[in-house]
Amino acid sequence: MDTAIAFPLAALIGIFLLAGAVKGLTGMGLPTIAMGLLGLGMPPAAAAAMLVVPSMVTNVWQLAAGPDLRGLVRRLWPMLLGIVVGTIAGAGALATTDPSWSGCALGLALIAYAGHALLAPPLTVPARHERWWSPTVGVATGAVTGATGVFVIPAVPYLQALGLQRDTLVQALGLSFTVSTLALAIGLGAHGAFRFEQAGLSALAVAPALAGMWLGGRLRQRIPPARFRVWFLVCLLLLGLELASRPWR
C-alpha cells in the first residue's frame, strides 16, 4: 500500500483531524470527507482501506452513546442486511476498477449527496412503507459503498426521512455506518485490497479522528449548525467535481 508515499504523515493527520471534527459537529461525515480528500492522492481502494479502523472506532463510539440500540436494530435490520449484501457484492468494483474511474465514481457519489442535501425538499417515509423501502435502500447503499467507499447514499436521506428524534437519528447513523464499515472491510479483504498489515497504518488515524470529534463537539456550541452545513456541503460538492472530472482531463 502506497499511502505513506501518496501523503506525508502530517497531511494524513490533518485529513483525519478535519474529518473527525466534521463528524463531531454533524454526527456524520468522517468517511465521506476522508474518502474525498484521500482520493485526491491515492486510489479509492487504498483510501477505503485506510479509513476502516478510524471509521469503525468513531462509529461504535457514536453508536454506543445513543438511547435505543435494540429498538433500532429491530426496526432497521432489513436495511442493515441489504447494506451487507450490497457492499460485499459490490466491493470488487472498488478493488479492481482503474483508479481514475473509481475516483470518478467517488466524485459522482459526493456530488449526488451534496446536491441532494442542498436542493432536495425534506422527505417523509410512512412507517407502513418501511418494510419495502428498508431492504431496497440497504442494497442500494451497499452497492454505492462497495463501488466508492462512501456510506451516505441513499441511507442518510432515508434515515432522515423516518422522523427519528435527533439523538436516535445520530445513533441510527452510527449503526448504519458501523455495518457499512464492517461489510466494506470484508469485501475489500475478499479481493485482496485490505490486508492485516494495512490495519496498523489505518489504526494510526484513530487518534487524530477522535481528537477531531472532540474538537467538533466543542465547536458545535459556537458555530451555527445551518451555516456550517451549507459550507460543508458546498465544499463536498466542489471536491466531488474535482474527482469526477479527472478521467476527462
Q: 184 vs 72, 191, 213, CA distance in Å? A: 21, 11, 22
Q: What confidence tens digit (pLDDT) does each residue in 41-51 have?
A: 888 888 888 88
Q: What confidence tens digit (pLDDT) does each residue in 174-207 have?
A: 899 999 999 998 998 888 777 666 667 788 889 9
Asked if 68 and 30 touch (Cβ cutoff 8 Å), the reply is no
pLDDT reading at 2 higher than 70: no
Confidence of residue 1 (pLDDT cuts 50, 70, 90): very low
Count the domains in the chain.
1
- Whether the model clears a pTM of 0.85, i.e. scores above it, the answer is no
Residue 161 three-state SS: coil
Residue 50 three-state SS: helix
Q: What confidence tens digit (pLDDT) does each residue in 84-139 have?
A: 999 999 888 887 877 778 888 888 988 988 898 888 787 888 888 898 999 999 99
Question: Which amino acid makes up residue 8?
Answer: P
In angstroms, rounded to a whole number, what is the distance separating the alpha carbons of residues 28 and 174?
A: 8
Cβ-Cβ contacts under 8 Å for 227 (sequence gap 6 or more) = none
Q: Where are the beta strands (DSSP E) in the chain?
A: none
Asked if 42 and 12 touch (Cβ cutoff 8 Å), the reply is no
According to DSSP, residue 122 is labeled: P
Average pLDDT over the chain, rounded to whole?
A: 85
In angstroms, rounded to a whole number, what is the distance separating the alpha carbons of residues 109 and 149?
A: 9
Instruction: Provide the phi-psi class of 122: left if phi over 0, else alpha when psi is between -120 and 50, else beta.
Output: beta
Tell me the residue range of the domain where 187 lies.
3-248
Provide mean pLDDT across the span 12-17.
91
Confidence of residue 5 (pLDDT cuts 50, 70, 90): very low
